[in-house]
Structure 1
Amino acid sequence: MAVHQNDQLVVGPATIDFVPLEQAATAIVTGRTPGGIHLCNAYTLALADEVPELATALTSDTANYPDGTPLMWWAKRRGHPNAERVYGPDLMERSLDIGRQHGTKHYLYGSTDEVLASLSSAIEQRWPGAEVVGVESPPFRDLTDDELKASIDRAAKAGADVVWVGMGTPKQDYLVHRMAAMSDQTFVAVGAAFDFIAGTKRQAPRWVMRIGMEWAYRLATEPRRLWRRYVIYNAKFVRLLWRSRR
């Protein structure tokens, strides 16, 4: 169940929570949003519209923030003029920054050992004093409940307040949903934020994001991996919005 009930929009199976980025980050680092937090874009919502398991994860957890410029355009057309994008990398960066004032302890879960090493180094250099109390690269397969519970216990033993999960959609959303059911910590699915902050993947320029063409930039950089996501599911997202409008 979403916690920000003053400014929301239902898109397909999910309720999107519109809050300023600063407010979302502050809520995370101060422990006001325990449970699962998802960053939703066109792909997430179009996929959830056809996969019941993903729809359940989005509708059951704490909050769904809008991570996608086309979604923001739609929100403004539907009566949310002040809607602000909560971009995963920006949310993580801002949380690391202001978390230093609150003694927030972070745990990094996902990706590879190499990316996690680069990410930890980048955090240490860019946000001195940010407390990363653990990193973990889980197996690239479905985890049993016992394996996932062991990971949660390790994060808890390390004193983590926030577990950042960077596994890609929808895998990370399933994991965050399962984790949130096992613990009262905060779990945030942030997708490619690990790679972007670590510098292991190129991030689209801000002007490309502003005109809603970030998907084209990412498709050009990783065509074999992302063509289906953007070519097929962008069209499905447009149909989803048309259905929501009707």
Structure 2
Amino acid sequence: MVDSPFISPAHERRSAPRPQFRKRRRRRERVHMLGQLVDLVKPEEVLHHVQTAVAEGRKTIVANHNLHSLYLIQKNPEMRAFYAQAEMVEVDSTPMIWFSRTLGLHSRGFHRCTYLDWRDHFWSVANRKKWRIAYVGGEPGVSETAAERLNAVYPHARILPRHGFFDASAGSADNAALIADLIAFKPEILFVGMGMPRQEAWILRNLELLPNCVIFSVGAAFDYEAGTQKPAPRWMGRAGVEWAYRLVQDPKRLFRRYCVEPWTLIPLAISDIRAARRRKAGLAPKAAREFGAPPVTGYHR
């Protein structure tokens, strides 16, 4: 693992995808932070990426990182394998954006990017282009309610809702039936909202079976659309206090996530800060010297 924000040829070779699933690397927006690679992209850039992939008919994963996923990825091999397959990794955490600024990265508030930040733009595009969108996740009835509410506003988007309470084990009848439904539906977009790390594990295990489409891990997206969960006001996300809103709503489930897990990231943060100080002092990272790769210092466009 490198300790500075750059991508080396060695890293490219180690995480190269299998021939059945070729993904395009993002260099200009990609940075290294808290032990992982993330993309400093705005909501418009996410939608541009999605439209390009749909037009080309290729399979691609759009993931997201927040402090919870950074904790899980240290302990869960499937999470690590999932992110290695992702073509774009959004930053779903204002504290991560703040931290990136301390490292000298050229990040801005608008680089905090997740479903709730681009949902209106997305559904407008989906409606105009008459996309087929499949959603897998939530309790029985929730995704159907969300689909009905969305179609009332975006009638030209075709939505296939499927709940997340099924036997997701490899080879199960439930899983085979779901995959068959998705193949028959031929979605341009597949949202998987079963919570971390279950949604990432399911995508990874079924990746080669899924139809060519843009695959998102979106957590409780359709719970918000159905009205079973109330999202925090977007200003709270921009201010970095959305976690407090969610903690008050569900303290029993979220206390450990917001009040314990972030402390495990301190060693990674210290490593990043030290690397940033070495760069500022003009000392190139060791791996960059070895491979001749310039450090990525932020978003350049």
> TM-score w.r.t. structure 1 length?
0.89
Q: Please give the root-mean-square deviation of Cα atoms over the aligned residues, in Å.
A: 2.2
Describe the shift of the 1:2–1:219 C-alpha distance in structure 2 as closer, same or farther (beyond 3 A).
farther
Which residue does 1:42 correspond to in 2? Answer: 67
> Is 1:8 matched with 2:33?
no
Selected match of 2:182 from 155, 165, 177? 155
Question: What are the equivalent positions in structure 2 for 1:163-242 lying under 5 Å apart?
Answer: 163-183=190-210, 184-242=212-270
TM-score under structure 2 normalisation? 0.74
Structure 1, unaligned stretches of length 5 or more? Answer: none
Equivalences, count: 245
Match of 1:143 in 2: 169
Distance 2:81 2:154 in 1: 35
Structure with bigger gyration radius? 2
Residue 40 of structure 2: which of 12, 18, 21 is its match?
18
Distance 1:140 1:239 in 2: 38
Change in Cα spacing, 1:124 to 1:193, as seen in structure 2 (3 Å) is same
Identity within the alignment, %: 24
Give me the whole-angstrom Cα distance separating, in 2, the residues matched to 1:233 and 1:244: 18
Tell me, yes or no, if structure 1 residue 61 matches structure 2 residue 83.
Answer: no
The whole-number CA distance in structure 2 between the counterparts of 1:238 and 1:89 is: 28
- CA gap of 1:97–1:103, structure 2 versus 1, over 3 A, is same
Asked whether the equivalents of residues 105 and 161 of structure 1 are also in contact (C-alpha less than 8 Å), the reply is yes
Distance in 1 separating the partners of 2:171 and 2:120: 30
For the 8 Å contact 2:192–2:216, the answer to whether it is kept is yes
Q: 1:216 offset after TM fit, Å? A: 1.2
CA distance in structure 1 between the partners assigned to 2:144 and 2:191 by the alignment? 15
* Candidates 73, 83, 102, aligned match of 1:77: 102
Quick check: 1:106–1:162 contact (8 Å CA) kept in 2?
yes
Which segments of 5 or more consecutive residues in structure 2 lack a partner in the other structure? Answer: 1-22, 275-301
CA–CA separation in structure 2 for the residues paired with 1:44 and 1:179: 20
Q: Which amino acid aligns with 1:144?
A: A
